[in-house]
Amino acid sequence: MSLAQLKPTGSEDLEQYPIASGTRLESHYYFKFHHDRWLNSDFFLLTSASGDWDVQGVALALRCRAQEQDPVGTLPVRPVLIAALLSMPLQTWESFSRRDPSPLDGWRTCLVGNTVRLMHPEVTEVALDALGQRDKAADRAAADRERQAITRLRKTVDAMGMGNIAGQERFLVGLHRWLDEAYPAGNRTSPRILEGVEALTRQTSARF
């Protein structure tokens, strides 16, 4: 695919990239690589047959660089920026872009907000999967932190002589969240815990 083929006829005709601007994977030091797709792709077969191993290398480098972009999985459209990402002179990149197939084979223009960038369906799929895994990991970590905090709170409440409350899981969860909201950065001192117990007790009584 040449640079001319990548130029959009009108931005209103372009699809919106499914990942929002500002979405990055800073701690993402690897990405899923479907080697079977790669080895059986028209791009790999054609470049292998013609001995264009350098084109394959640049194509892989672009996929790697796309992992660092904003949003993740995209590339800039301007040739000078792509050349800079590859640490090569613009003239060298323009020479690569005229090869058939070029390292941009499979990439197409898209919209990120109002900005035109490049996307590749396989790179996008991998980026979406990585973001999903990151969000799941974050949810699991948040749930673990809450469980640990409730366990500590249960022990503190029991030590304060409120064993009846320590055995009420739903009340403890409510107390934990009340303390998080009322004192997000503060220690869970006995007076604050008592304040929370009284507040929740009043709320419960008001319902009946």
Confidence label for 8 from pLDDT (cuts 50, 70 and 90):
low
Q: What is the mean pLDDT of the chain?
A: 89
% of the chain beyond a pLDDT of 70: 92
**10-44 burial: b if 16+ Cβ within 10 Å, else e:** eeeebeebebeeebebeeeeebeeeeeeeeebebb
pTM, entire model: 0.66
Mean pLDDT of 78-101: 97
Q: What is the layout of strands, in order, in the sheet containing 115-119?
A: 74-75, 115-119, 108-112
pLDDT on residue 208: 54
Q: Flag the least confident range among 34-43, 97-106, 198-207.
A: 198-207
Question: DSSP assignment, residue 11?
Answer: G
Mean of the pLDDT values across residues 80-101? Answer: 97
Compute φ and ψ for 111, nearest 5 degrees. Answer: -110, 135
Residue 30: pLDDT over 80:
no
Q: Tokens 């372009």 — which residue?
A: 14
Find the range with the poorest average confidence among 19-23, 75-79, 109-113, 170-174: 19-23
Residue 136 has pLDDT above 90, yes or no: no
